[in-house]
A and B are shown apart, each in its own frame.
Chain A
């Protein structure tokens, strides 16, 4: 069961997915045209697995872990069938520096040594699962990935060679000690996400949205800016040009944390929509296995899957061919359980194994999963969206009407939610400012209020509203346009630090409070809403991070002056 087979003359790759008596069902990972009865099927005797070791970072793999660059060198621009290519480059030497000495006793997950894989990632070589013993030999220097660097002797005196790389079956989650509950937000630099709907480090989020709602841009933005050591990006059943875009763009983006290229901490998995469907089903598992491997080194890993709907459709296609009884909309009955067991592989975990042998450690690894969903017609009542919603705690609902207005990111602030908000309130209070949660809630309230007022305006017109409500509307508009709207392609606007987000919130709400005050003191509404300083509030998003303190103080002062002028003038005329 689940063994990999090679079929026919072209040696097409397949996997055994069902066995009935003497019949085996094989899922072929490549196009099957040209096969017929009588073709020879050879079993390789191993389940679908991926090679784990240095050389993963910066590489792009297909759904079953073959490097696409190597395939291109072998067969040219098109993906021919039956190409044999190992995941890791066998001809590259890596410098291995050991972390252990002879006669150390080690067990699964212990860090044996280090390989500097790229300028931003140090790859930790660990004892493979299920292996333990006493070290009898330690090598140091330059090695290929398939060379032995450490030799162990286990309890029954068997000699065990440990190589730099090892293999892991993708459908099996890698073990850990204990799962912890997520408690800190993951900073993305995207204002709508960080402020209104934050995601936890080790949490899971879903981004559903109809086409054209900027789902992919959101995913790309997150991959670029998210606070993680390693990013695994799975392009699952999406456009070929999108992967090309990632390949072109990531190497040239400077990672704000390390100052190096973003590609130096990214692994890409690509199964574009024209590539074989069966491999699409596997691509998600290949991706998350790589992510777990880096998590086990103690890193914070973010995995983006774009899109899980395509994965579910692949599941449906395979299920249909197997003539299984269909569930909702033709999806197999096990759709929900497959989805949840995938998302459940995310989390903060206490990892097994030690790095510093002199003390007792509590090492944790973090795996955050962000899955895109592409509901047909943008209607999230369909099975994939619904099954996903039951699992995730953060839901970023993209809205096509916002996208038509070119409001990006097109996150609908009324429909999206994050169940982490209350848990993180304390974190924001201590790390940013004590009034952060209050400001955030005030902002959301104004937006909700706006939606109600808009209804009234539709019926009776804006003039019928009280001055207070007018100010509410104007402030909500400012929240939408000056705060929530964020241009992913603008040099400065593309990333906003939490401190700047705080200042922006503060400015908008300072205007709100002062405007209400001015109104009370008798200022005219038209004067209040037309004060010139509002333009500097809306331009604050283009202020460089190093200048925000000064500009904030200036704008804040100006708001105060301008608004007090509105009612002082008034008093003068009456005086």
Chain B
């Protein structure tokens, strides 16, 4: 029977100080019993002599310094996992909230995870076809990658993430696929959009949802992504499934982290976020991947909203340094009515080079990708010139580049949120619009592919 303490000394913000404790360990989980018999959980942050500083995970209303009791549980926070969780909905801490029965856990796993030995990783190189040209063609996603979506308020990132979850598949394979979805401080409507979209496609039966809504306790958000990833790791590395984890919205997670840090009076880093935020985010993102001797994989799509669309804000900035690329949404394209509004120039998939080419997609993929990028960049530059100086200032080649850019945006990037293009279709569209340019401009494509695919204009 664990010892109970009634020695709560202080409660401030999400933190609580308990005095005269014994045998308490760092990072240990504790439980606070309120007068009405309700329990809420917390974890140990600091131990100084006989004083323990704990961080609450749940709503702390109702804690009475005199009467509330604290029990230390002697272990860190664990999540009971099982395959039964598929198709179910849980709270941000992993308790069922869909009215169904409790889960009979196969295993209890520490939600903090254990770092993966870099030697034990398998390099992600299996092409995932998302059916979205801007991703498949130019910023290819592979199994085991962590590829965030950098969005901003008012942009349709939810629709994009749902479309990816719906259409993503590895070609010529019929392996078990699951989605783990973590809602971190998002609105009911947004969460509901995902539920609806999973229900429509029937994907709901292979989805686990962890939901912390905007009005749920902020502190719970620190645990939510960890709980979700722990469930995903179990499915991927114990049950050999291919798991796609969607975390939305990481900015809310970072804000919760900042709240705890501020309450602890830590020295703040940039914009008040704690100095250890890089390490903390890495401990989430790096859990994605593929491992040796394991069949499954864990692919992660965190979504974050950039405050003021500022890519140098600490959250997108640190995320970009850890993840393997980013998909950036653009308001300009959104206003033009282009769906999905992916701005391909600042977007990047670092793992694309190993996932494309002969045998994976098509041999000409890499060359055309580079050519499209550089042509689009040049075309946008020419368009800017045109705005200042008028159309007549452009020479013949630049006029062609402008045409290329317009066609590229309206035919290549733009597609319906229900259109599912195969990668061949994407590549063919690419060649069609590249053929607007004269062959001599296509210096990044080798002659072999030009001979095969370049379509000469009919005079």
Contacts and interface: CB of A to CB of B under 8 A. Distances in A.
B201 interface: no
B287 A212 contact: no
Interface stretch (A169-177, A370-378, A415-423): A370-378
Given A34-B76, A78-B116, A241 B312 contact: no
30 contacts: A32-B27, A33-B27, A35-B26, A36-B26, A37-B49, A68-B118, A72-B117, A72-B120, A78-B114, A78-B115, A78-B120, A79-B114, A79-B117, A239-B286, A241-B289, A243-B118, A274-B116, A274-B283, A274-B287, A277-B276, A317-B276, A320-B276, A326-B267, A400-B346, A403-B348, A404-B345, A405-B374, A406-B370, A538-B443, A539-B443
B121 A462 contact: no
Contacts, number: 184
Contacts of A22: none
B377 A405 contact: yes
A240 interface: yes
B410 interface: no
Among B112, B122, B269, B353, the most chain A Cβ lie within 10 Å of the Cβ of B269
A77 B443 contact: no
B278 A273 contact: yes
A212 B292 contact: no
A80 B122 contact: no
B275 A241 contact: no
Interface of A: 32-38, 60, 68-69, 71-72, 76-80, 210-212, 235, 237, 239-241, 243-245, 247-248, 270, 272-277, 310, 313, 316-317, 320, 326, 329-330, 374, 376-379, 400, 403-407, 457-463, 481, 487, 489, 532, 535, 538-539, 542
A36 B24 contact: yes
Nearest to A532: B440
Interface in B265-302: 266-270, 275-276, 278-279, 282-283, 285-287, 289, 291-294
Contact of B121 (A211, A244, A317): A244
B314 interface: yes
Contacts of B124: 241
Contacts of A330: 267-269, 275
Among A241, A374, A538, the most chain B Cβ lie within 10 Å of the Cβ of A241
A551 to B, nearest CB: 15
B279 A320 contact: no
Nearest to A404: B345
Interface in B377-407: 377-378, 385, 388-389, 393, 395
A80 B120 CA distance: 13
B275 A317 contact: yes
Given A237-B282, A462-B393, 18 more contacts: A34-B76, A36-B28, A60-B118, A69-B119, A71-B119, A79-B115, A210-B320, A241-B121, A241-B289, A244-B121, A244-B122, A272-B115, A273-B282, A277-B279, A316-B275, A377-B317, A405-B378, A457-B385
Contacts of A489: 353, 366
B322 to A, nearest CB: 6
B25 interface: yes
Given A33-B76, A212-B325, A462-B393, A376 B317 contact: yes
A367 B79 CA distance: 49
Contacts of B115: 78-79, 272, 274-276
A487 B443 CA distance: 12
A247 B267 contact: no
A210 B311 CA distance: 11
Nearest to B384: A458
Interface string B41-81: 00000010100000000000000000000000000100000
Interface string B11-51: 00000000000011111100000000000000000010100
A223 B214 CA distance: 48
A61 to B, nearest CB: 10
A212 B348 contact: yes
Interface in B232-263: 237
B440 A535 contact: yes
B39 to A, nearest CB: 22
A277 B26 CA distance: 17
Nearest to A247: B119
A68 B119 contact: yes
B76 A274 contact: no
Nearest to B348: A212
Among B326, B443, B446, the most chain A Cβ lie within 10 Å of the Cβ of B443
B351 interface: yes
Nearest to B312: A377
Interface string B333-367: 00000000000011010110100000000000010
A241 B350 CA distance: 10
A523 B440 CA distance: 22
B449 interface: no
B266 A320 contact: yes
A508 B417 CA distance: 47
Contacts of B113: 78
B373 A406 contact: yes
Contact of A241 (B237, B266, B269, B324): B324
B321 interface: yes
A36 B114 contact: no
A241 B351 contact: yes
Interface string B308-321: 00011110011011
